[in-house]
Amino acid sequence: VKAAFLKPGISVPSRAGSQLQGTPVVPRQSRRRKSLAIAYEAGPGDGAEPRQARWEPPRWREQLQRIRQMRSGRDAPVDEMGVHRCYDSSAPPEVMRYQVLLALMLSSQTKDQVTSAAMLRLRRHGLTVDNVLQMDDESLGQIIYPVGFWRNKVKYIKQTTAILKQKYGGDIPSTVEELVQLPGVGPKMAHLAMHIAWDSVAGIAVDTHVHRISNRLQWVKKETKNPEQTRVALEEWLPRDLWKEINWLLVGFGQQTCLPVSPRCSQCLNQDICPAAKRL
């Protein structure tokens, strides 16, 4: 840089390291110190970013304990006729797992009493992969009727059973990712199948009861629109050792107390700490 273009009070070192005479020089060390000071201003003293606490609902542990107390009788429909009661526990493991999956497929949009009765009729006909594949659609429909959407379920059961025979040797997949690829199997069914058939907790099984109650208790940071959104929201904060229990607890609680319409708030131990109780 030529001296003719320099403004007064500015110095520029030459290529040889010399400086123009009569111009002040800002020491390099002070520049570095200023830069370091700016870098540390955002930190809490040592430059580290402050750690954000994980969100969780207020008083959720107290609410959960009271739900456990209300469910201690284990006398809801899910306790007596849920999927875990629908399969033949004396059957070979792969047959047992197949029956669990079929019970889950039948249970969608269907009361536990109706699912349980349909499963009993199927088992009387021999509920195995080979036997179901040999049934014609009309016979299968007569057996499972009156489960919800029974015509669609006949189609899904036959398609899924054929896939299990061809791809899995008559057993069911052992991952959620593979289970949800089967016709008629959604995320809730897949997670319950993992819980019951494989004794593995891969996620929270969220049905309409769990979805509804989680929003009423505000166990989600913001309102969720469907069970799958609720599952993701719950898994962000709920301790993993509770993932298997929460479905059983909330389903029975939803069947007996926190009903979809006209919930029995006056009978609920959480009435004083439920965000929704005063609005219902």
Co-location of 274 and 214 in the same domain:
yes
Domain total for the chain? 2
- The domain that holds 176 is classified in CATH as 1.10.340.30
Quick check: is 42 in a domain? no
**Residue labelled with tokens 């131990």:** 269
- The domain that holds 221 is classified in CATH as 1.10.1670.10
Domain end (from 200, 233, 252):
200
Co-location of 194 and 218 in the same domain:
no
Co-location of 178 and 218 in the same domain:
no
Co-location of 107 and 147 in the same domain:
yes
Q: Over its length of 280 residues, how does the chain's per-residue pLDDT go in tens digits?
A: 444 444 444 444 444 444 444 555 555 554 554 443 333 333 444 555 555 678 999 999 999 999 999 999 999 999 999 999 999 999 999 999 999 999 999 999 999 999 999 999 999 999 999 999 999 999 999 999 999 999 999 999 999 999 999 999 999 999 999 999 999 999 999 999 999 999 999 999 999 999 999 999 999 999 999 999 999 999 999 999 999 999 999 999 999 999 999 999 999 999 999 999 965 5
Co-location of 91 and 176 in the same domain:
yes
Quick check: is 1 in a domain? no
Co-location of 110 and 144 in the same domain:
yes
Global confidence as pTM: 0.79
Enclosing domain of residue 69: 56-74+203-279
Tokens of 158: 């036959």
Q: What amino acid positions are annotated as catalytic residues?
A: 188
CA proximity to 217, closest of 188, 184, 250: 250
Co-location of 173 and 113 in the same domain:
yes
Co-location of 228 and 262 in the same domain:
yes
Residues with Cβ within 8 Å of residue 221, at least 6 apart in sequence: 55, 233, 236
Quick check: is 146 in a domain? yes
Q: Is 264 left (phi over 0), alpha (psi -120 to 50) or beta?
A: beta
